[in-house]
Structures are given as structure tokens and as C-alpha cells.
Amino acid sequence: MNKIIRSLRAMAMALAAITAVCVTTPSALADKVTLKDGRVFEGQIVREEFGYVWIKTTVAGVPREEMFSVDRDVASLERDSATPAPAAAAATPADPEDAEETLLPKKPGEVRGVVLTLGDRANNMVGVYMVANVLEEVIPLLEKEIGTDHTGVVVMRITSGGGYGMEVQKISDAVHNEFKKRWRTVAWIETAISAAAMSAHCFEEIYFTTNGNYGACTGFYGSLDRPVEGLELEESLAQMERISSRGGYDTLIMRAMQIQQPLSATVLPTGEVKWYGDATSGEIVVNRAGEILTFDHVLADKVKFSRGTADTLEELTTLLGYKEINWVGKKVPGVAWPISRAEKRQMDFRKQVKSDEDNLNSWYNLYQTNLGVAQGMPPAQRGPWLGKARSFLDKIKNMIRNNPAFARNLFGGRKEFQEWLKEQERIIAELAKK
Amino acid sequence: MTRRNSPVLGLLSGLLAGAMVPLMLMPAPAAAQNSTAASKKGTDVLILRKGTVLTGTIESETATAVKFTSDYNGLPFTTEYPKTDILEIKRGAAAPAGGAAPEQATPAPASLNVKVAEDPPVEAASDKTRYAYVTLTGVFGQGISQSPIRKAMKDAVSQRAQVIVFELENTWEQRGGSETKEEKRDIEARFDEFHRAEEILDVIGKELPDMATDAGMEPPRVVFWVRRAMGGAAFFPLMSKEVYFHPEGRVGGIGNLATMLKGHERVVEKQISLRLKRAVGWAHLSGYPYAEDLVRAMTQDWYVCSVKFENGRPVLFEGLPTNPGEELLTDDAKEGNRDTIDQIARHTGNDVLILNERNAKLIGFSKGTVETKSELLAALRLDRAGVDVGTRSERDMTDWRTGLDRTMARVQELWREYAEVRVEGDWEARRRARSTQIQKLEALKAIFRQWGEGLDPYQLAPLGIPIGGDGTPDLAIIDNWIEKIRMQQQLDRR
């Protein structure tokens, strides 16, 4: 029932948006807070507790939340009869951001698109923050948001300085086998270094930002004096040859990013680009002898590795060949594209991983400390300490549940993590028994 | 392929090593006791915006924050809450009207989060260009840092500034005592500050246009007037479309990219490549047509760069000059070409490019040389046709710098007080001592949350304050300490 009401409200708001230049939440089907100073706020009352009321309004299409003291500020408070009263203080307040957004049916010829961020400036390590499973997870959401008729556009905005090579194949498979089959899927590169560039190399369409960069894919084991060599290096080169063919790129390009392969190119009059495995045969020096290749937008444009450079969604829309794309999602101040539900999941995932990563050391130490205290206690007094130890163990479990890549990165694999977990639970159970 | 020496795996090995450390807690294996006498519960109530309700005692109150003592499991804790986080304060009978007397001895540094009444929009005739003049001075990464710049930009946008003029003069000194400070030499370089510079470049190059768009206005023009931009600060003018120089202005101090990393050649080349192209990427925002040549010349001493002129326009190219009309900017720094001590002392070396007013103008990077602010405004045609709406933005930067100075002193004081706490005596004395330890650590955390990005890690680390990988205080470790103190108290027997 509530879902239907929300759908009606969304529809009413959409209609109002068409007819009004300066849109505020329409008075029909809305809550209203009238202040003693005469101001009136219309929208949805989302919370009411401690003598305060929070109302979500929309000003010029931008949602904002206002809060007032009922005693001090509010003259009257009118609820839309269809709107249930907000939950009491003890109940979990409804998060308006979680409200189901109902999209209107597609109009003929309408193209819908979303921007999914793979990494952001602060949290971007491949295999930790940029993982295949959270991309795969949002496919059903995307099917709802931009449809299943193959007209949808998915832009993957990549901002990552690299990470675990182990994740490359998984991300590449997810993009190539799942996304590209359903939607026009393109990469929009701000920073794609190392494993991030390798993950992006299966996109046929790569666009850059003006400050974008892409490459530097040399593998190494954490320390600068430990490159990937021998059989592992050959396997990595072979893997990237296969991935290069997915994106339609000459294998020399990725090779120059991995192993100091000199590279030059000539753009033929036909528009085709001919690549040379040295720095002299082609008219354009792409990678000097001895260097590792990283593209900037100028070089990537010159040798047609990039399809174009865009800094705004409008510029990207034009480069994609459309006059208009309905970019699905909510406009949020400070973000250059609307946040779809699929994108919100990417953002929430990274936020959770960041929190987990920050706290992991602490949780592990406190788990060990509480377990140690319990071991030193007489059996009858261990309960509270074991309870605390278990709570920290649960946090570690939840962390792995949110991001299974942690199990691989920290324990060597899910199986190894499960074994470790089983052993810890056995220790706790033993201590609880005695 | 398993990369076992990754940072995350390093974390695990740290964890496992931690597990081997014997438990350093009180020896008495007694049941945990909740202290009923742990603290006298106050009658003041704080209602936080996020919904938390705290009952306790207001210890002190300033214009911007409330120091509040409550308890957790019988252990009192004191935390300073910014007033912006507080919805309402309900004062108990014990509290004097108006709250506790504002703390005098150690006033809280001005908070950047505190919402004060916004300056009213500066009124100006519609034909005047609205500009904000913002001065960036101090040590790069300390006095010049992303949070105050972000706030200054927000304030400039709220004043609908059409132009933002940065006057830039960063401190470029040897590390050392106040008596031994002297300017760094040209051969000393800090390309490694690029990572930190990117955090600030993001604010100016990305966030500012987004803020403007959200406010329904065109992104402001950004102008840099350079007195000194050395080390990480050099990347700011490199990304700007309009740069003016002071007659003694210099941009550089980033010439160690080719030499700062050691390791296997292929891996080092990867690291150089990604850093170089990230820096070049930012320089592309300036629209300067030879961004890569310019950045290579400024960052790598082997790169030979010259300038020629085509139809009167400067063109940078790799290689030596081939005719008298061309000019060498940087040589290959090999053998006889290595800068001499004479050249280094007189700033005339050419192993790496350090931009000055002459060569910057020669290569078309500088729009002009001006000696004073009024000359700059005249050059920008803002002297008569412009109105400065950036008073608030400028104050944001000043507040940050003065706040940082006070904060470092407060950190040292709190840390000393924390270290001086002795947990001894009877149970009540031990409880009080631990409570004091927690209070000091919580106070430090509150400071670090607000000021951490600007505090000098080289001053903090010798004190014993844990520093994280990003160079700021590691709050998770401090949280761990607090938790352990709480556990010690729970294990302590009367």
C-alpha cells in the first residue's frame, strides 16, 4: 500500500516538475509545516522525536531536509492523510533515501543511462573497493532502472590506482559477459592505473576526462624490487592478450603498459591505426624505449585508443552520439551525475569496506584481548568476556560477508577463512563449557 | 597470481603478530564489576542531531563547543561536541544559567565546522565582476590544506564569485629548529608531495566547478599569482589557465621524479610513468598545449627541453636548440652538464626546469609579471570593474593557520598530561586516573578529527602519537588504547 502511495507521489511530483520552473514539493499529497514566522514547508515529514520534526522538501529539484522545534518554531503541522505518521523515537526512522523509486514507463525512443563509479579518490583499490561481485549484484537493479531492451547505457567511471591482479579477470568477465550483453557499456576514465586499467581493457569504448590517465600495468609483489617475473609474467601477458581481444585493442598496447615494450603508431588515411613494436617506425611515439606506457587524454586521443574526452555528463552524452540520455537517479549536490540505486550500492559498499578496513586491526586485537581475559578467568566469570570476544568475531564475519574479497586478501581464500573461523568458534565454545 | 606482500596482507601479518603479544592487562582474574560509584551522573542532557541523547554534566562551554561528561559502563568519559552537532541542550538544576563558564585556560581552536551567521551577500552593481581574493601561505600540506580551501571555495561560491584569485607563497624551508630554518635549495625536490597536492587539486579543479554548477552559476575563473610555489604547491599553478608571477616568483622543486624511487627497473619505471601522467593530466586542465614537455622538464633531470617560436608562439620540444632563435630550458644533467654549485647558489641551473617570471613568460605559461596586489588586479581588470566578495574566504584561510598554531600547542599539552597520569593508589584513585587518561585521549581525538590533516606528522610522531599511512594521526589505534584502558578498569578489583 505504502509503495503504491509513494509511486503516486513520485508521479505527481514528476508531473509538477514538468509544469513548474521552480519546483517545490506539490501541495497535493504532501505534509505541511507552517512556522511561527510565517514560512511554510511542504514535503514529507520523515521523522518526529524529542520535540523536533524533520521534513524533506524539494527546492528547484534539489531535495533537502529541514528540522524545526515543534514548541519553539512550529505554528501548525498538517499531515497528508495518506501519509502514515513517522515512527516514534524508539523505532527505526524510515530513511527517505531508501524509499523505492518508481520510474515512469519508458517513452518511445527514450534512452536511459546510469553512471556506476568503480572506486573514488579515497577508496579505490582493485580487489578491495573495486570488485566484480558488487557489480554483478546490481545487475537486477539496473535491469529495473534502465530496462532490458538493450537501449540502456552503463557508464563505468573508473578512479583507481590499481590493486590486486587476481580481481582483473573477474571484473573483465563481469563486464564482458554480463554488462556488455545487456547494455551499451562504456568506460569513463579519470584514473585507471595497473589492475584498474587491466580490468577496463575489455571495454570497446573508452572515454577520458581531461586529466584522465590509463596504464602502468607492471605487476609486482608489494615491494618495488619484486616484479612479477618468469611463468607468472608470461601468464599475465597471455591473459591480457585475451582481454585485449575482448576490447579490440592491439596486444602491443597492453604489453607496453606491462613490460617496457617500445611502441609507436601511425594513423593511416583510412583512419585505421597501425602499431609498431618500436619507438621509431610509427609517426607517433607512444612509448619510449625503457619506459612503461601510461596514456593521458591527449596521447590516447591521438592514437584513437580513446573515443573522446569529456568532463561533464553533457559532454559525454554528446560523445556517445545522443542528444539526450535520461540519466537515472537522484541529483545530489557535489556529484556530477545522478545517483541511481545501483550506484548507491557501489558507494555504500565502499563506505562499509572503508569502515571495516579502518576497524579491522582494532577488532582483531580486541577479539584476542577479550579471549585472553576469558582464558584467565574462572569458568563462571568468563561469560561477559566471551560475549565481547564473540561480538568482535561477528564484526570480522560481517566484514567478510560484505566483501568476500577480504577473505582472499587476508586469509588466502574463503575456505581458509572458514577454517580459521571454525577454530575460533571452537575455542570460544570450549571456554564457555568449562 | 598471489601478491602476498600487499598492504592488506601486511595488515594481517601485523594482526597475527599482535596475537602473539602477551596480554598486558591487570593480573587479577576477578569478575568484571560495574562501578556504581564510577561517576556522579549529572542532570544535563545533550540531544545530538543524529538522535543520540546523553545525560551527564556540562563541563565547559565555548561559543562553538560543549565539553560534556557522561559515562559508559560506569566509566566516565568527557568529549567535546561541536555545537553544530547539537540539537538541544537541556540544562539541569545544578548548572548555572547559561551553562558552565566558558573554558578560559585552553580555548578550543576556532572550528571550521561551526556554523556562524553567514556574511550577507556583498552587494555590487551588476556590471562589476565579483571576485574572491584568497591567500595561500604556510607550509604545503599544513597551512595550505584541503579543508580550509574547500570551505573558502564554498564561501566564494555562496558569494557568487566569478573569479577566484589565489596569491600563493608556500614556505620552502629546511626542516629544523626555528633558529636554523633556511630556504631549501633548487636541487632539493619534493615530487612525493604530489599525492597530497592531488587532494587540494581535486577541490579547486573538480569540486569548485561542481559547487558552482549546483549553485546555478558558471564555474569561476581561477587565477594564480605566484610568489613561491615549490614542492607540492607547484602543481597548483600548473593546472591553472591563468598564472601571473611576482618578479621573484618561482614554481618548481619537483625535479626528483626520476631519482626518488629505488627498486627493480621495470617496477620503478611503472611508478614513474603513473606519477608523471597523473601530473600531466592535471596540467592538461590548464589548457597549456605542451603540458607533457613542461611536466617532464620540471620533474626529470635527464629530459632535454628547449623552446622555439612558430609564428611568434612558443613551442616546447624535446632536444637541444638547433638555431639561435631557440633556447635551451633543461639539459640532460649528465657529466659536464650537471648544475654547478655556482648555478645552484644563484638559481640558474638547468638540470630541471624551475619556472621564474622570465622563462614562464618566454614559454607562454605566465600571463604577466606583477609586483603588487593592486598591479595584479589592474592586470585582471578587477581594480575598477571588480568587487572583492572574498572576505569570508580569506578569513577561512587565516582562521585555519592561526588555529593550527594553537592546536599544536594544545596537543603537546594534552599529550604531556596524558603521559603524566599515574594509575596507582586505591581503587577509586586508579579509576579516576584511568578516567583522566580516557578524557585526554578523547580530547586528542576530537582535535585530530578536525585538524589532523594540517598537523605536522614530524612533530607528532616523536611524541609517540601514532601516525597512519596517510600521515595523519591514527585514530583507530587511539580507540584501541581507550578500549584497553576500559578493560583494565573492568578487571581491576577494589
Q: Using one digit for the tens of pLDDT, what is the confidence trace for B37-58?
A: 333 346 777 776 655 667 788 8
Q: What CATH number is given to the structural domain containing A201?
A: 3.90.226.10
Last residue of one domain, picked from the residues B337, B363, B389: B389
Pick the residue of B239, B266, B280 with the most A CBs within 10 A to test the interface with A by mutation. Answer: B266
Contacts of A213 in chain B (CB under 8 A): 274, 277-278, 280-281
Integer CA distances (angstroms), B296 to A388, B317, B366, in order: 56, 11, 18
Give me A294's grid cell: 601510461
Domain match, A233 and A329 both: yes
Q: Which of A200, A117, A122, A197 is nearest to A162 (CA)?
A: A197
The dihedral over CA atoms of A57, A63, A67, A70, expressed in degrees to the nearest 10, equals: 10
**CA of B177 vs chain A CAs: smallest distance (Å):** 34
Domain match, A275 and A406 both: no
Region A145-155 average pLDDT = 95
d(CA B136, CA B35): 52
Angle, helices B146-158/B391-420, rounded to nearest 10 degrees: 150
CB pairs under 8 A between A and B: 200
Residue A243 has a pLDDT of: 98
Residue B4 covered by a domain: no
Q: Do A365 and B480 touch (CB under 8 A)?
A: yes
pLDDT at B172 over 70: yes
Q: Do B277 and A296 touch (CB under 8 A)?
A: yes
Domain match, A47 and A184 both: no
Residue B291 covered by a domain: yes
Residue B208 has a pLDDT of: 96
Q: Which of B430, B420, B418, B438 is nearest to B486 (CA)?
A: B438
Contacts of B271 in chain A (CB under 8 A): 216, 224
Contacts of A259 in chain B (CB under 8 A): 266
**How many CA atoms does the CB half-sphere of B56 hold within 13 Å?**
24
Domain match, A157 and A256 both: yes
Q: Tens digits of per-residue pLDDT, A152-202? A: 999 999 999 999 999 999 999 999 999 999 999 999 999 999 999 999 999
Distance of CA B117 to the CA centre of its chain: 25
Q: Do A381 and B31 touch (CB under 8 A)?
A: yes
- Pair A164, B3: CB distance under 8 Å: yes
Q: Residues B228-249, buried b or exposed e (16+ Cβ, 10 A)?
A: bbbbbbbbbbbbbebbbbbeeb
pLDDT at A345 over 80: yes
Residue B120 has a pLDDT of: 65
Query: pLDDT over 70 for what percent of chain A?
Result: 82
**CA of A323 vs chain B CAs: smallest distance (Å):** 20
Q: What CATH number is given to the structural domain containing B283?
A: 3.90.226.10
Last residue of one domain, picked from the residues A319, A339, A359: A339
- Number of folded domains in chain A? 3
- Number of folded domains in chain B? 3
pLDDT tier at A52 (50, 70, 90 boundaries)? low
Q: Kindly indicate whether the ipTM for this predicted assembly is greater than 0.90, answering yes or no.
A: no
Residue A105 covered by a domain: no
A224 vs B1, B239, B262: nearest CB: B262
Report strand pairing: A31-35 vs A74-78.
antiparallel
Q: Which of B267, B280, B193 is nearest to B229 (CA)?
A: B193
Three-class SS of chain B = CCCCCCHHHHHHHHHHHHHHCCCCCCCCCCCCCCCCCCCCCCCEEEEECCCCEEEEEEEEECCCEEEEEEEECCEEEEEEEEHHHEEEEECCCCCCCCCCCCCCCCCCCCCCCCCCCCCCCCCCCCCCEEEEEEEEEEEECCCECHHHHHHHHHHHHHCCCCEEEEEEEEECECCCCCCCCCECCCCCCCHHHHHHHHHHHHHHHHHHHHHHHHCCCCCCEEEEEEEEEEHHHHHHHHCCCEEEEEEEEEEECCCCCCCCCCCCHHHHHHHHHHHHHHHHHHHHCCCCCCHHHHHHHHHCCCCCEEEEEECCEEEEEECCCCCCCCEEEECCCCHHHCCCHHHHHCCCCCCCCCEEHHHHHHCCCCCEECCCHHHHHHHCCCCCCEEECCHHHHHHHHHHHHHHHHHHHHHHHHHHHHHHCCCCCCHHHHHHHHHHHHHHHHHHHHHHHHHHHHCCHHHHHHHCCCECCCCCECHHHHHHHHHHHHHHHHHCCC
Query: What is chain A's mean pLDDT, rounded?
Result: 85
Instruction: Name the closest residue on chain A to residue B216, using Cα atoms.
Output: A60
Domain match, B370 and B265 both: yes
**How many CA atoms does the CB half-sphere of B254 hold within 13 Å?**
29
Region B344-351 average pLDDT = 89
Last residue of one domain, picked from the residues A314, A339, A364: A339
Contacts of A89 in chain B (CB under 8 A): 51
pLDDT at B292 over 70: yes
pLDDT at B16 over 60: no
User: Higher pLDDT residue, A408 or B151?
Assistant: B151
Instruction: Name the closest residue on chain B to residue A358, using Cα atoms.
Output: B476
- Pair B190, B174: CB distance under 8 Å: no
Domain match, B199 and B275 both: yes
Residue A161 has a pLDDT of: 96
β-pair partners for B406: none
Q: Do A227 and B19 touch (CB under 8 A)?
A: no
B273 vs A215, A225, A360: nearest CB: A215
Domain match, B448 and B355 both: no
Domain match, B326 and B411 both: no
Give me B23's grid cell: 596480554
A224 vs B23, B268, B479: nearest CB: B268
Query: pLDDT over 70 for what percent of chain B?
Result: 79
Domain match, B339 and B419 both: no
Q: Do A210 and B284 touch (CB under 8 A)?
A: yes
| Domain of residue B449, residue span | 400-494
Domain match, B252 and B371 both: yes
Residue B344 has a pLDDT of: 87
pLDDT at A92 over 70: no
Note the residue count of chain A: 434
B5 vs A215, A221, A361: nearest CB: A221
Integer-rounded Cα Rg, in Å, for chain A is 27
pLDDT tier at B329 (50, 70, 90 boundaries)? very high
- Residue A101 DSSP code: P
Q: Residues A47-74, buried b or exposed e (16+ Cβ, 10 A)?
A: bbbbebbbbbbbeeeebeebebeeeebb
pLDDT tier at B91 (50, 70, 90 boundaries)? confident
Residue B119 covered by a domain: no
Domain match, A270 and A184 both: yes
- Pair A247, A202: CB distance under 8 Å: yes
Residue B192 has a pLDDT of: 94
Instruction: Name the closest residue on chain A to residue B469, using Cα atoms.
Output: A358
- Pair B159, B123: CB distance under 8 Å: no
Q: Which residues contact B310 (CB under 8 A, 6 or more apart)?
A: none
pLDDT tier at A280 (50, 70, 90 boundaries)? very high
- In A141-262 the beta strands, taken as DSSP E runs, fall at 153-160, 184-193, 206-215
Q: What CATH number is given to the structural domain containing B60?
A: 2.30.30
**CA of B4 vs chain A CAs: smallest distance (Å):** 7
β-pair partners for B183: B173
Residue B284 covered by a domain: yes
Sign of CA dihedral B88, B91, B96, B97: positive
**CA of A333 vs chain B CAs: smallest distance (Å):** 6
**CA of B385 vs chain A CAs: smallest distance (Å):** 31
Domain match, B246 and B383 both: yes
Last residue of one domain, picked from the residues A60, A90, A120: A90
Domain match, B177 and B55 both: no
Residue B355 covered by a domain: yes
d(CA A292, CA A296): 13
Note the residue count of chain B: 494
Q: Do A259 and B266 touch (CB under 8 A)?
A: yes
* For chain A, counts of helices (H) and of strands (E): 14, 14
Domain match, A277 and A380 both: no
Q: What CATH number is given to the structural domain containing A85?
A: 2.30.30
Instruction: Name the closest residue on chain B to residue A380, using Cα atoms.
Output: B31
Domain match, A249 and A298 both: yes
Instruction: Name the closest residue on chain B to residue A235, using Cα atoms.
Output: B1
Q: Which of A404, A389, A400, A422 is nearest to A356 (CA)?
A: A400
Residue B494 has a pLDDT of: 80
β-pair partners for B70: B77
Greatest C-alpha distance within chain A: 85
Task: Look up cell 561541536; give the residue.
Answer: B82
- Pair A173, A180: CB distance under 8 Å: no
- Pair B291, B283: CB distance under 8 Å: yes
Instruction: Name the closest residue on chain A to residue B201, using Cα atoms.
Output: A211
Report strand pairing: B327-330 vs B305-310.
antiparallel
Give me A239's grid cell: 591473459
Domain match, B251 and B377 both: yes
Instruction: Name the closest residue on chain A to residue B1, using Cα atoms.
Output: A166
Q: Tens digits of per-residue pLDDT, B440-491? A: 999 999 999 999 999 999 899 999 999 988 889 999 889 989 989 998 998 8
Residue A37 covered by a domain: yes
Domain match, A323 and A230 both: yes
Contacts of A51 in chain B (CB under 8 A): 88
d(CA A213, CA B282): 10
B23 vs A128, A296, A369: nearest CB: A369
**CA of A296 vs chain B CAs: smallest distance (Å):** 6
pLDDT tier at A93 (50, 70, 90 boundaries)? very low
- Pair A358, B478: CB distance under 8 Å: no
DSSP A18-57: HH-SS-B--STT-EEEEETTS-EEEEEEEEEETTEEEEEE
Residue B59 covered by a domain: yes
Contacts of A361 in chain B (CB under 8 A): 11, 14-15, 18, 476-477, 480
Give me B333's grid cell: 644533467
* Cα first-last separation, chain A: 53
Domain match, B242 and B285 both: yes
Residue B119 has a pLDDT of: 62
Q: How many other CB atoms are there within 10 angstroms of residue B144's CB atom?
A: 29
Q: Tens digits of per-residue pLDDT, B118-129? A: 566 666 667 799
List strands edge to edge, sheet with A206-215: A294-296, A206-215, A184-193, A153-160, A112-118, A326-327
pLDDT at A288 over 90: yes
Domain match, A293 and A246 both: yes
d(CA A337, CA A313): 7
Query: What is chain B's mean pLDDT, rounded?
Result: 83
Residue A434 has a pLDDT of: 67
Q: Do B477 and A164 touch (CB under 8 A)?
A: no
Q: Do B87 and A333 touch (CB under 8 A)?
A: no
Residue A102 has a pLDDT of: 61
| Domain of residue A256, residue span | 112-339
User: Higher pLDDT residue, A290 or B18?
Assistant: A290
Report strand pairing: B327-330 vs A74-78.
unpaired
**CA of B152 vs chain A CAs: smallest distance (Å):** 15
Report strand pairing: A40-49 vs A52-59.
antiparallel
**CA of A390 vs chain B CAs: smallest distance (Å):** 16
Instruction: Flag the least confident range among A49-63, A205-219, A331-345.
Output: A49-63
Q: Which of A157, A155, A174, A160 is nearest to A126 (CA)?
A: A160
Which phi and psi angles does B26 have, rounded to 5°?
A: -60, 140
Contacts of A67 in chain B (CB under 8 A): 49, 87
Q: How many other CB atoms are there within 10 angstroms of residue A8's CB atom?
A: 14
Q: Tens digits of per-residue pLDDT, A298-307? A: 999 999 999 9
- Residue A337 DSSP code: S
Q: Do B7 and A165 touch (CB under 8 A)?
A: no
Encoded amino acid at A363, one letter = W
Residue A78 has a pLDDT of: 73
